[in-house]
Amino acid sequence: MTSTSHVIPTLLPGQASPAAPQRLATLGVMGGGQLGRMFVHAAQQLGFRTAVLEPDATSPAGLVAHAHVVSDYLDAAGLDRLADEADAITTEFENVPAQALRQLALRRPVAPAGDVVAVCQDRAAEKAHFAASGVPCARNHLIETEADLAAVDAALLPGILKTARLGYDGKGQRRVSDRAELAAAWRELQGVPCLLEQMLPLAQELSVIVARSATGELVHLPVQQNLHRDGILAVTVVPAPDIDAATQAEAVAAAGRIAHELAYVGVLCIEFFVLADGRLVANEMAPRPHNSGHHSVDSCDISQFELQVRTLAGLPLAEPRLHSSAVMLNLLGDLWFDAAAGADAAERTPDWRPILALPGAHLHLYGKQSARRGRKMGHLTFTAASPQAARDVALQAAALLGIEPF
């Protein structure tokens, strides 16, 4: 499955642009959030010039890139300006319109391709792709009409109703226990196309991040064990302490099949569930670096963002090596408000001094101009020589910040 696109070039770090010899080879990214910011940093470390297209003039990635095209994602003039600036282009989040990526591919290499991103944007297409790749997932039913609603198999209840498009971090999801709740939830979601997924007895959550080149070369980060709260990733632990070696190997192999069947180029994350009976099922995928892979900047010799740069620039891939055990804590905007003050609390910056005094602490703030409850403002990674040592220090930090222990 491919979009119209130029062949991925080999762009050497520090070389002149093939399209514009008066400037350095330039890597472009659609989207200006924290993932784009970290991609820009990784590209710049390797000597590339960078360009970002993002409508927010103060976006985290736009503020650090060499060129910032302030434009809507579907604005033709903005897309042309990005194509003028960049020699190859990627995306930093899955909700960039696939059509914009297809339009860019008429002029520049784009990875991942628009048609591939479109699969990840549609939960029904995503589940179908898992099945085509031989990877099991939860039983599900697409609801687009009242007739679809009436035809739901009772065995799928209780379940989770999810909007087929544009859902992330727990948004657009409702837990339903019976037909009455299902019907009410679908109407609460404005009757948009939704997927009802059977609720499964979960034992663990994990993710696998792979990088695949245009020639089919595939590498992966260590398997990550995750904890979500309210649908948002809260904690990632590496090495995965409660996932046995056979399950980890199965997850890596499944992620590789999913990427291969998509003819994927770039960095791809697959989230999996381990069920109470030990079975592994795929949950969803993201066509980009992933929150659970942020630890790799501090714990691995090659980060997920450098892998994204290498796949886009046609550079060799090397298997990342984990040199330190790590625990990653997400920092949500709630930490910027005094919980005791209630809804009227004024924004204030957390005191990072006691956190930075802890051994192995790596603070990453995303440069966002204002905090909101539930907004990802940054993350903390704690590295140590052993998994227990990393966990112990991360728990100290959680207590200091008022984050629920894990």
Mark the binding-site residues for ATP, compressed into ranges.
123, 162, 167-173, 197-200, 205, 228, 283-284
Q: What is residue 226's three-state secondary structure?
A: strand
Facing residues of 300 across strands? 322
**Cis link prior to 239 (omega < 30° from 0)?**
yes
Closest CA to 289 of 114, 65, 93, 43: 93
For the chain, what is the largest distance between any 2 Cα atoms, rounded to a whole number of angstroms? Answer: 64
* Phi, psi (degrees; rounded to nearest 5) at 215: -95, 5
Alpha helices in 172-303 (DSSP H): 179-188, 245-261, 296-299
Q: Where is the binding site, in residues?
A: 123, 162, 167-173, 197-200, 205, 228, 283-284
Closest CA to 287 of 110, 144, 27: 110
- Length of the chain as a residue count: 406
Report residue 335 as tokens. Answer: 């930490």
Which H helix or E strand runs over 231? none
Rounded CA separation 311/295 (Å): 20
Those residues with Cβ within 8 angstroms of residue 224's Cβ, 6 or more apart along the chain or in another chain: 206, 207, 208, 209, 236, 237, 238, 240, 292, 293, 295
Rounded CA separation 72/27 (Å): 19
C-alpha 123: how far from its chain's center?
15
